[in-house]
Structure 1
């Protein structure tokens, strides 16, 4: 029998890659999208436009993580084998400007989804997208048993969702897992996130369309991986014999300055000529270093990242240069990476 999966946040970076992965594995994939006055499903275009799509099954449903009744009805209707909760307000800097909204859709909404599954009486497995931002000020390396010390409303909301997931697992015997993912990027990353902001600016500067790149803290250290590999890790967590929490990370440490330097060098540009400091992009409380220890995922899931930051930077810069070239020549842009 064909497996069914439900993905919240299916129109985002991770959601689109996960949908592709599950379709390739023969799933029927259902996604929840918010009703909007404009189309926001461009990351799913590679699926809809695939000429070999006849045997694939993708279904989109209007809904919202703030609407518990609608969630219950959807879950009963779909009766999914697996649920992946990727929906959230996921921008850390924005969470300082919209802390209450972030707390609702990133934190409380996870509880709302868990309760909807319980109330619907559906036997399913659920993946909760947790975040390395939960560790915050706790020194690296960070693993599954590292204490949390969040430094943003986003991190606080993710801690709430983490403990809600763990509580429902223990209280109701649900197959509920937390995937504690460190930063993972791709050409599908939103343009306001720092990595994509950098690679897009490199493409525009090289083309003479942008004079400079304004950045905040360049000294923050992060563990950057490649998003398509990380969504496979999500899937592997739900195939495990028992529900457990896992860290996914590369174990490498690069500063924002390192990322900037590598991106500009790949385009044969000197980054110091173009990068300007702008305090508007500083966070009120900064997270100095996030470096993950994914040895448990390697040991129990067989998950090992292959794309490390230097290659990730090249993938993203090349994709943004190509996208800009396509836009300027009038060709339809399609992000397949």
Structure 2
């Protein structure tokens, strides 16, 4: 383990990326702080295994806060004096953003401004990472890179474009070390169950286990550039280790449709997806993003980052994990691929 001794603050630490990032930073010797919302139920399941390890020194601390409350956010930053802030917190579900546009704008957009303004006022030397999104490109034809114009197609994407430009503005106007990571879709066994990839793998595992018969889907023709979340949080960390702040696209450069994700997953389980999938209009978006393909050449050149997990392996990794979660024996090809690619992986098994 590398003993760096830095202090990091992560918003959205209870999410997929936040939990992997926390593990990566702990592995590198950081003291890690995370902001969580106060709720009537615990929502720290992705982090519980860190506390469960009796051999792990406690260097993970959670604070109650809300991105809509500037005073809470400011107090946390002033009190812990982080050297790095990774801002991953947001209302991050694209379809839900159409139903809650004002809330999405407040949390996903203005939440970023609240953190940036707190950093500016604090006078502390803090490096800031903003979780930008490929959804900002929207209807712009692929491939998309750092010079591609934005054409957002959802309230979520509009809020992310606002947050992106505010990050650039604070970097240019106040000489802050602030970076935008424009991450394309990235998945894992920790992906939220309402997101399409996890909805498919979890639903399929339940179908095999006899717990449900059908999977209800929306647009199957939408094409996305899907990568593996642990690899993408490594790119986040690399951005804040550079001499100068900049913006980077993080992607695989390969695109696949939702239909192809269904085909890959169901064939792995030995089933025909058409026998178990029904289309439900309520899952369609008012405006759709048809095709995203990221060009991550800059991240490869400057950061030395590159993706290793293929689309096929990604589906198998997620399927094996959801088979286990459903009480089934994993087929094992996903587990084997992960062991081959990451024999000494820094994150705990999912």
**Which TM-score band (shorter chain)?**
over 0.9
CA deviation after TM superposition for structure 1 residue 192, in Å: 0.4
Residue 336 (str. 1) matches residue 336 (str. 2): no
Give deviations 1:61-83, integer Å, cap 9, x for gaps: 11111111221211111110100
Residue 26 (str. 1) matches residue 29 (str. 2): yes
Aligned to 2:107: 105
Aligned to 2:338: none
Q: How many residues align?
A: 330
Choose from 298, 316, 327 the match for 2:318.
316
CA deviation after TM superposition for structure 1 residue 51, in Å: 3.2
Q: Check conservation: 1:46, 1:336, Cα contact below 8 A.
A: no
Give deviations 1:12-56, integer Å, cap 9, x for gaps: 0000000000000000000011111110000001211123212x4
Choose from 7, 11, 23 the match for 1:8.
11
Aligned to 1:192: 194
Q: Distance in 2 between matches of 1:113 and 1:182?
A: 23
CA deviation after TM superposition for structure 1 residue 336, in Å: 2.6
Aligned to 1:240: 242
Q: Distance in 2 between matches of 1:167 and 1:251?
A: 29
Choose from 148, 153, 156 the match for 1:154.
156
Q: Check conservation: 1:72, 1:119, Cα contact below 8 A.
A: no
Give runs of aligned pairs for residues 197-212 of structure 1, distance below 5 A. 197-212=199-214
Choose from 16, 29, 37 the match for 2:40.
37
Q: Distance in 2 between matches of 1:102 and 1:154?
A: 6
Aligned to 2:231: 229
User: RMSD across aligned C-alpha pairs, in angstroms?
Assistant: 1.4
Q: Distance in 2 between matches of 1:35 and 1:122?
A: 27
Q: Distance in 1 between matches of 2:60 and 2:256?
A: 37
Q: Distance in 2 between matches of 1:51 and 1:298?
A: 37
Residue 62 (str. 1) matches residue 97 (str. 2): no
Give runs of aligned pairs for residues 248-259 of structure 1, distance below 5 A. 248-259=250-261
Choose from 290, 300, 303 the match for 1:301.
303
Give deviations 1:77-114, integer Å, cap 9, x for gaps: 11101000000000000000000000110011101110
Q: Distance in 2 between matches of 1:63 and 1:280?
A: 33
Q: Distance in 1 between matches of 2:45 and 2:157?
A: 28
Q: Distance in 2 between matches of 1:43 and 1:264?
A: 26
Aligned to 1:330: none
Where do 5+ consecutive residues of structure 1 fail to align? Answer: 327-334
Q: Distance in 1 between matches of 2:310 and 2:220?
A: 19
TM-score normalised by L of structure 2: 0.92
Where do 5+ consecutive residues of structure 2 fail to align? Answer: 329-347
Moved over 3 A (4+): none
Aligned to 2:146: 144
Q: Check conservation: 1:7, 1:83, Cα contact below 8 A.
A: yes
Q: Distance in 2 between matches of 1:250 and 1:46?
A: 29
Q: Distance in 1 between matches of 2:72 and 2:327?
A: 42
